[in-house]
């Protein structure tokens, strides 16, 4: 889901997926309470925020997760 048309190598994609999972747990700690549509909506919003942060130069997966979760919480 590159915002700038960039393709990511497998290692970068794996790191981004790990960061996305961490951001999801930060933004919605009780995932079992969410229906599938809500879960997917939150995940998509977090993914966009995470990729924006990555494309702006952030490479630390923990910071990417924090940035994405904070972005989601700020916009919620």
Q: Are 66 and 19 in contact (CB under 8 A)?
A: no
**In the predicted model, is pLDDT for residue 55 greater than 60?**
yes
pTM: 0.87
Residue 20's SS3 state is: helix
Dihedral sign, CA of 24, 27, 29, 32? negative
**In the predicted model, is pLDDT for residue 2 greater than 70?**
no
Give CA–CA dist 12/36, Å, rounded: 27
**In the predicted model, is pLDDT for residue 11 greater than 80?**
yes
Q: Are 23 and 15 in contact (CB under 8 A)?
A: no
What are the pLDDT digits (tens) for 24-49? 999 998 988 889 999 999 999 999 99
Residue 16 has a pLDDT of: 97
Average pLDDT for the chain? 92
Q: Which residue has the higher pLDDT, 15 or 6?
A: 15
């Amino acid at each position: 889901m590159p915002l700038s048309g960039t393709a990511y190598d497998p290692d970068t994609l794996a790191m981004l997926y790990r960061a996305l999972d961490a951001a999801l747990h930060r933004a919605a700690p009780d995932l079992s309470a969410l229906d599938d549509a809500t879960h997917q909506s939150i995940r998509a919003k977090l993914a966009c925020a995470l990729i924006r942060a990555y494309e702006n130069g952030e490479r630390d997966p923990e910071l990417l997760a924090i940035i994405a979760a904070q972005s989601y919480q700020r916009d919620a």
